[in-house]
Structure 1
């Protein structure tokens, strides 16, 4: 099996693409503020393909899943308005918390990846 040769430019290009993407909130998600300053996000679940009658009469899947964002997570959520790029979100976060761009990038990209995996955000790449 032949191994693919990786050039030095490929990782830089993928980072540039990722930094230019815009995090967009899930339009179907319902956001509510908790009394202690955190945000609760309810994301509707799609019905699985295998849940059809009569199975769906016995097994009731949850209508939605919820995420609770506290402190820094709620701040990142507020920065993800669909207009800012990941780079701009990272810059804002770094400025507010006296971090370098690279320190902020590591934490922001990891957190955004988690929100995308859970269905709260989607990433839109510029054409």
Structure 2
């Protein structure tokens, strides 16, 4: 029984490693529908509201309603590298170098940040463009 359990654990580890290798090769790209501007070290992103309140306000005021997201220095640094050319691995290496992070810290933080950007429709993955 222990042999089967150890084998299953080894399989799970191999799957996680494969998944991580695939993830770090992906190339994030800013969405074309997003307006943004650099303000010093920060980045301001203008997002059109598409929730029910945004639709209602647009209907009442007859003009587009936007919300603004402000990225701090590190978020802005990552945002500027989301150009469709830099891979997740490239961006993680830049984070390690610039902010003296370990590889693990850089990848974990970057994965979470990119996930949030994707959920909000602010980035896509370059291979998703097709």
Query: Fold conserved (TM > 0.5)?
Result: yes
- CA positional deviation for 1:59: 9.5
Identify, as 1 or 2, the structure richer in helix: 2
- CA positional deviation for 1:124: 3.0
Specify whether residues 32 and 11 from structure 1 end up closer, same or farther in structure 2 by C-alpha distance, changes over 3 A only. Answer: same
Q: TM-score, normalised by structure 1?
A: 0.74
Task: Tell whether 2:47 aligns with 1:38.
Answer: no
Which residues in structure 2 correspond to 1:8-87 (within 5 Å)? 8=12, 9-34=14-39, 37-46=41-50, 63-87=65-89
Give the number of aligned pairs. Answer: 116
Q: RMSD value over aligned CA atoms?
A: 2.9
1:107 corresponds to: 109
Specify whether residues 47 and 59 from structure 1 end up closer, same or farther in structure 2 by C-alpha distance, changes over 3 A only. Answer: farther
Q: Determine helix, strand or coil for the equivalent of 1:28.
A: coil
The structure, 1 or 2, with the larger RCO (C-alpha pairs under 8 Å, 6+ apart) is 1
